[in-house]
Amino acid sequence: MVELVKLIAQSLVDDPEQVDVQQVEGDDVITIELRVAQEDMGKVIGKQGRIAKAIRTVVKAASLKEKKKVTVEII
């Protein structure tokens, strides 16, 4: 899951080396934290949050196999 989010984020930003993705696991929830450079934040979020919503939708679809809820937080 982390690799998927990292690949998507790196393809969107101008500075792919600044992309940092970490996974934090809880009891039944997995949180994926995405950090990018400040100037690339708008590219990852998109107009009215459309790109961020699309990233969350792709991760949700990919997480159906794991039987856990996966959330993506852009920090």
Residue 68 banded pLDDT, cuts 50, 70, 90: confident
The CATH number assigned to the domain with range 2-74 reads 3.30.300.20
How much of the chain, in percent, has pLDDT values that exceed 70? 100
- The string of pLDDT tens digits covering residues 11-37 is 999 999 999 999 999 888 999 999 999
Asked if residues 24 and 3 have their Cβ atoms less than 8 Å apart, the reply is no
- Residue appearing with tokens 């500075």: 15
How much of the chain, in percent, has pLDDT values that exceed 90? 81
pTM exceeds cut of 0.85: yes
Does the pLDDT of residue 7 top 90, yes or no? yes
Instruction: Give domain limits for the chain.
Output: 2-74
Q: C-alpha 11: how far from its chain's center?
A: 12
> How high is the mean pLDDT of the chain?
93
Packing angle of the helix pair 2-12, 50-62 (nearest 10 deg) = 150
Asked if residues 71 and 32 have their Cβ atoms less than 8 Å apart, the reply is yes
Residue 24 tokens, joined: 């934090």
